[in-house]
Structure 1
Amino acid sequence: MRTAASKSALHRRDWLWALLFLGPNVVLFLCFTFAPMLFGLGVSFFSWNMIEPPRFVALGNYLQFFTGDPLTGKVVGNSAYFVLGALPASILIPLGLAVLLDKGVKGTGLFRSIYFLPLVASAVAASTIFKWVYAKDFGVLNQVTGIFGIPRQDWLFDERLVIPSLIVVAVWQRIPLNIILYLAALQGVPRQLYEAARIDGAGAWSQFRHVTWPMVTPTTFFVLVITSINLMIGSFDMINVMTQGNPLNASNILVFNIWRTAFVYFQMGYASAMAYILFLVVLAFTAVQFVLQRRWVHY
């Protein structure tokens, strides 16, 4: 009986310690994340400009996005172009660089310091620098291309060039974290597998294809999920600093359009509805990735 009582007391003590450490985080989550999410869901069923009383419109805001907003097609197309354009490079470039770093090629010590720069620089600061780089008259990029006789381009105010220019910045910002993830995965690959492959006559490409790639597919899946989510919802700072959706909404993606609808046009209900539509898009895109990963991820 005494043993059972002592175990029960120990169990209660563990629960008290757990509540002590988790309680503040749970309270903050409920107050600053969960409650605003519920509030936003409620607001999405109203027409509200923060001045006049809210007016209940049921699913009107959601229907407006799909049938009544002339910008919907443009914004969705821009978002798809941006995400699908940046996603492959955000995975393949870090993977290639991580393989080189793992092999210990010359200059890796210096490069390890350089590739951390995007990780420690704030998104606003990095976007401001790239805005200067892309400037038409005095930008570094046009100065360099001018040496080779290439005419100056208005990189951020040309409808054809603005999304590709933003993709370059987005990829640059996401390379460091993905390199770190891939390096951790590569260091977990048993070296005996490479030795066995070399004994069998496998070259560098064969070793990568039959040893490295299968072993890093779980990490690739993780990188794919977090990078796609980050591109869809984490690119607001870059768009806001560099283009603000210009020219003529050519760089207006969904996450920026939500902010502009809410805090420039003060259509809080419609902005909340778009936010939940974006949430459902991210959820569906992630679910599809989880279904398809069974075909190519090796655990």
Structure 2
Amino acid sequence: MLRRAVIDLVLVGPAALALVVFIFLPVAVVVVLSFTDYQFGATRFEWVGLGNYADLFGSRLGRNALINTLVYAAIVIPASVGLGLLVALGLHGIAHTVPRVSAVLRAVYFLPVAATLVAMAVAWQMLLHPSLGLVNQWLAGLGLPSRQWLSDRGLVLYTLAAIGVWQSVGYNMVLFLAGLAAIPPTLYDAAAVDGAEGGWSRFWVVTWPMLGPTTLFVMIVTAANAFRVFETVATMTQGGPAFASDTIVYALYREGFVYFKAGYASAITVVFFAALLLLTAIQIAVVERRVHYR
């Protein structure tokens, strides 16, 4: 028993130590700092209790960042999951007839995932330029008015959400394709015997239930990516105009690494982590009831 315990400690010890040092300990430090007014470079700090949290939820900018993040996530999560599933079903269907076309389309859809997001954000910034951008030129060609995609306070957040959907669809498509490939063909044969011969009925009777685990995973990953949106905001709008596209992670960056308010930034981090944990728990509680594991 002692020898086995020593072997287990040798095998698990380094990984457990790294987990404590690089994950649990930093999380504990962030939680403690969230109750202080510590600033980077300061030699002393004061204990402020829940003051940072009161400032976050009590200030207009703090509530604005939280609301913008929720609106962004409410658009990106269902749209990217739904479109990813739709694209995967289409490519999976044509893979048996025209496999080369399916392979090319898969690469095209996955390109936004493989490319550097900052570079793609710069490209989108050029496409959405109010006077030189191709998007407004296409609208003018159709006789439609041009838009200030990144300067209109009522439009900028939805523009960033559309870019977020464009970025996420390819990754979700790959996951759904893996789930579709794992469905045994015999299930479709059994469904046909029971009368489910149409494509729509086959989807609801076989495909959708069997994609339950994949869908749950895709939703959790997409939610995490949506809540921590940063690169497009930092590259394209810097939270503007007038904080209309400010999100919780960009506010964390601004308060912590521009204004050096480590205590306040730590409070934002704790709220971000709690919100993401709550959303994940809700998704698991709601979706997992209909998930069929095999």
TM > 0.5 between the two? Answer: yes
3-state secondary structure, aligned to 1:210: helix
Separation in 2, partners of 1:12, 1:49:
44
1:17 Cα offset (Å): 6.6
Give 1:95's aligned residue: 85
Code of the aligned partner of 1:18: L
Equivalent residue runs for 1:54-65 within 5 Å = 54-65=45-56
- Tell me which amino acid in the other structure corresponds to 1:212: T
The answer on 1:39 being equivalent to 2:29 is yes
Matched, 1:111 2:101: no
Quick check: 1:77 aligned with 2:78?
no
Q: How does 1:105-144 map to 2 (within 5 A)?
A: 106=98, 107-144=101-138
Distance 2:226 2:270 in 1: 17
Instruction: Report how many residues are paired.
Output: 287
Q: What displacement does 1:221 show? A: 0.9
Question: In structure 1, what is the Cα distance between the partners aligned to 2:285 and 2:190?
Answer: 33
Counterpart of 2:60, as a letter, is P
Q: Following the alignment from structure 2 to structure 1, what is the Cα–Cα distance between the partners of residues 16 and 230?
A: 27
Question: Deviations along 1:263-290, whole A, 9 cap, x unmatched?
Answer: 2222211111111011111111111112
C-alpha change, 1:225 and 1:231, in structure 2 (3 Å) is same
Once residues 14 and 103 of structure 1 are traced to their aligned partners in structure 2, the CA distance between those partners, rounded to angstroms, is 50
Gaps of 5+ in 1: 1-6
Q: Give the C-alpha shift of residue 222 in structure 1.
A: 1.0
After superposition, the C-alpha distances for 1:124-173 in whole angstroms (9 at most, x for unaligned) are: 11111111111111112112222101122110111121111111111121
For residue 280 of structure 1, the aligned residue among 274, 284, 288 is 274
Q: Which residue of 2 aligns with 1:250?
A: 244
Per the alignment, residue 3 of structure 1 pairs with: none
Residues 88 and 176, structure 2, Cα contact 8 Å, conserved in 1? yes
Q: Deviations over 1:70-115 (max 9, x none)?
A: 2132222111110001111111111111111222254212102212
Task: Quote how far apart the aligned CAs of 1:13 are.
Answer: 8.4
Q: Which amino acid aligns with 1:55?
A: E
TM-score by length of 2: 0.90
RMSD of aligned Cα (Å)? 2.1
- Mapped to 1, the partners of 2:288 and 2:86 lie a distance apart of 24
Residues 55 and 62, structure 2, Cα contact 8 Å, conserved in 1: no
1:223 aligned onto 2:218: yes
Post-superposition offset of 1:26: 4.8
User: Which consecutive unaligned segments of at least 5 residues does structure 2 have?
Assistant: none
Letter in 2 for 1:41: V
Measure, in 2, the Cα distance between the counterparts of 1:131 and 1:140. 10
Structure 2 letter corresponding to 1:284: L
Letter of the 1:210 counterpart: V
Letter paired with 1:279? F
